[in-house]
Structure 1
């Protein structure tokens, strides 16, 4: 990890607790007596979202969420109302950061590597999230969203787009980047196939993008962003 010049972060699931945020935003479903367990709901929601994103790569993320809500209600035979679907679609900016995210990003910012966001959301949603992570001072050197790229991870196009941009803007090549993510499906698996070094943030409470991908191994694994940041700091300082 000592030669890393850019850290490319997935945001939701890695820095932002999207499952807790979604759980809070889906209370109108969870309060229904016939609603199944959160794990089943999230698994169904994840599959529906993935299918929507693959079917229309340019569909903006709030629309993906709204359509997914409608299809989820139909699949699980739950009561659907338009207002709740709209609230869920606009909930991204309210999803909380993991407790260690800001401290970890502050540590990593001190290492002089470029901090890059590569996320499957739209620009407007991310700007709301950005304030939670950055506060009053900038942390991220660049942000790439599905809206910018015109497709969703795990599409290789997304990774090529980010890598080409980093090489053009910062003269950083693919051997000098590190993919940092919780989702094996959207990030670790495609990174591995593309020959990119990766770090799996193995948050034990995560449901989506992890189960069913046990055979996919990242180059490095940490139980939290904080542990990763401290370890990378130690490695880079000792290397100096």
Structure 2
């Protein structure tokens, strides 16, 4: 199935363009250095549901505040010791999370090919600005729709309705022109399908959150990297 018809790429950011699990692990060090700390897989088995529930409980909370609560709740769940200062540092850590090595160059290629690049992300505006600096190099995102702007978190269908409506308003483009590009099946692929949006899954190696428990969710397209995806869609559109 050709990628040529798509004109707007609706990107998840964290887990797709930004390596959030590596960023999280770095900032969970005060917990992971304790003798009874779990391994990576177990940590994310605990963190994922806690983060999802924290967002569900207060959809208008800033993501930085969500993360602060997640740190404390994770420590409690795992019977580990945590301080308020450590929790706050984790909440403020998003700008330090690294980009995947292929993200920026692939995004530049996609922008140069005339595709609209739109972010739909579970993040607050301030935190995203740090990530934006890591990603934008020789191009700019065409639109950025954050959870803070929308007032809810994915996988709420409200977020996808917001994106569809604003893409039509801002660019005059329809739902059929949009392709979701994401790693998380929970946050993006599955709810996107409920809105009849096509999806390209970026299969980031070792990704756990939003992926491991959703192996039965099938994307329309699958790629091993952003570079592979960019090459494929540019070829189809040439």
Q: Does 2:18 match 1:16? A: yes
Residue in 2 that maps onto 1:64: 66
SS in 2 for 1:195: coil
Alpha-carbon contact 1:105-1:139 (below 8 Å) kept: no
Measured in 2, the distance between the counterparts of 1:4 and 1:198 equals: 11
Q: Does 2:117 match 1:119? A: no
Alpha-carbon contact 2:123-2:147 (below 8 Å) kept: yes
Structure 1 residues 54-75: Cα deviation after superposition (integer angstroms, max 9, x where no partner): 1110011011000111111110
How big is the shift at 1:138? Answer: 3.6
Measured in 2, the distance between the counterparts of 1:196 and 1:114 equals: 16
Task: Compute the RMSD of aligned alpha carbons.
Answer: 0.8
How big is the shift at 1:103? Answer: 1.2
Q: Does 2:195 match 1:214? A: no
- Unpaired runs of 5+ residues, structure 1, are none
Structure 1 residues 203-235: Cα deviation after superposition (integer angstroms, max 9, x where no partner): 121011111211111110000111000111111
How big is the shift at 1:11? Answer: 0.2
Q: Does 2:175 match 1:174? A: yes
Task: State the TM-score, normalized to the length of structure 1.
Answer: 0.97
Q: Does 2:98 match 1:78? A: no
How big is the shift at 1:3? Answer: 1.1
Measured in 1, the distance between the counterparts of 2:169 and 2:195 equals: 19
Measured in 2, the distance between the counterparts of 1:193 and 1:6 equals: 18
Task: State the TM-score, normalized to the length of structure 2.
Answer: 0.97
Residue in 2 that maps onto 1:153: 154
Measured in 2, the distance between the counterparts of 1:77 and 1:212 equals: 24
Question: Which of the residues 90, 96, 99 maps onto 1:88?
Answer: 90
SS in 2 for 1:168: helix
- Unpaired runs of 5+ residues, structure 2, are none
Q: Which runs of 4+ in 1 moved over 2 A?
A: none
Alpha-carbon contact 2:103-2:226 (below 8 Å) kept: yes
Residue in 2 that maps onto 1:188: 189
Give the number of aligned pairs: 236
How big is the shift at 1:158? Answer: 0.2
Alpha-carbon contact 1:201-1:225 (below 8 Å) kept: yes
Measured in 2, the distance between the counterparts of 1:43 and 1:208 equals: 7
Alpha-carbon contact 2:167-2:174 (below 8 Å) kept: yes
Residue in 1 that maps onto 2:200: 199
